[in-house]
Amino acid sequence: LRHFLGIDGLSRELLTEILDTADSFLEVGERSIKKVPLLRGKTVCNVFFENSTRTRSTFELAAKRLSADVLNLDVQTSSTSKGETLYDTLRNLEAMAADMFVVRHGDSGAAHFIAGNVCPDVAIINAGDGNHAHPTQAMLDMLTIRRHQKPFEQLSVAIVGDILHSRVARSNMEALRILGCPDIRVIAPRTLLPEGIEQYGVRVFNDLRTGLRDVDVVIMLRLQKERMQSGLLPSEGEFYRQYGLTSDSLALARPDALVMHPGPINRGVEIESAVADGAQSVILKQVTYGIAVRMAVMSMAMAGQTTQRQSRQGAE
């Protein structure tokens, strides 16, 4: 691993290695994650062109637990407001001896572009690009499932809501397929499903109650209004009535079904408060596990990048 840009194309062995590594950081307990020297002397830059609470904060905590120096670029007050391009912003950060960029950007493909064309010698971690991919979210979701449910090969998982605009849905469908989950369901109105969704090997349901029947895991998604044209925007009340996860609709899933959500949650729009805060919810555990998963991905990518650099120097 030199960069971590997406889930598609990765092997089951690599995903399992990431989960095992993350588990090793959680060894001492669910909430107390060890500090280790794996990134001592390295500089990690968080560069978020879109807002974030969970991803940015857990990447920062993860980098600190790995003993890295951390720089958080405040894009709102940076010179991007004076017209500086993404290319020049990142080349300048690279000149400050950055070893890793954690990048969130509104354009699908931004992280791939940076890794291929802007700073190939810096490890790039995709923290969410447009509606394309959010690979570390998918890995922390997989870790949550692995720690609290049956093996992937025995699971039914439903992903519910705005699939069309969701990079989390795409990365989760890919990760679940690679890890051997035999029953991946997506539940959404037709207007919030992308064309060609079947290529992910999923079963599509337009009716929530039918789709939730006997599932082991329910992953709820918020309506991404910021990515919708006004004509597509469903009424929140109507959406909640048809697709909101309530105690009633959750009762159709298996009694020990996990309730998950990448956040931010919109209470009363896609999920009832009693369910979000209820006994089956692992929504806050997902956040905690995010630190361990990001530690795993960053340490593995940095090791890969260092090996690559050393072999190139040896050849020169």
Task: List contacts with ligand CP (CB under 6 A).
Answer: 52-55, 128, 137, 262-264
Residues contacting 50, CB < 8 A, separation 6+: 104, 105, 106, 128
Checking DSSP bridges between strand 258-260 and strand 217-220, what pairing results, if any?
Answer: parallel
Nearer to ligand CP, 128 or 211 (CB): 128
273 within 8 A of 267, measured Cβ to Cβ:
yes
Closest listed residue to residue 86, CA positions, set 71, 104, 72: 104
Rank residues 2 and 221 by Cβ distance to ligand CP and give the closer one.
221
Q: Among candidates 150, 103, 163, which has minimal Cα distance to 254?
A: 150
Based on CB atoms, which residue is closest to ligand CP, 2 or 60? 60
- DSSP state letter for 70: E
222 is in an annotated binding site: yes
Does the annotation place 264 within a ligand binding site? yes
Does 263 show up as a binding residue in the annotation? yes
Q: Is 104 annotated as a binding residue?
A: yes
The string of DSSP codes covering 81-144 is GGT--HHHHHHHHHHTT--EEEEEESSTTHHHHIIIII-TTSEEEEEEETTTB-HHHHHHHHHH
- In whole angstroms, how close is the CB of 297 to ligand CP at the nearest point? 14
> Shortest distance, CB of residue 289 to ligand CP, whole angstroms?
12
Closer to ligand CP by Cβ: residue 15 or 221: 221
Indicate the residue among 57 and 80 with the shorter CB distance to ligand CP. Answer: 57
Give min distance, CB of 137 to ligand CP, in A: 5
Q: What is the smallest separation between the CB atom of 262 and ligand CP, expressed in angstroms?
A: 4
Q: Residue 82, annotated ligand binder?
A: yes
**Residue 266 Ramachandran class (φ > 0 left, ψ -120 to 50 alpha, else beta):** beta
Distance of closest approach, residue 102 Cβ to ligand CP, in angstroms = 11
Token pair for 242: 């048809």
255 vs 145: CA distance, rounded Å: 15
Which residues sit in the known binding site for carbamoyl phosphate? Answer: 54-55, 104, 134, 137, 263-264
Which residues sit in the known binding site? Answer: 54-55, 82, 104, 134, 137, 167, 222, 263-264
Which residues sit in the known binding site for L-aspartate? Answer: 82, 167, 222
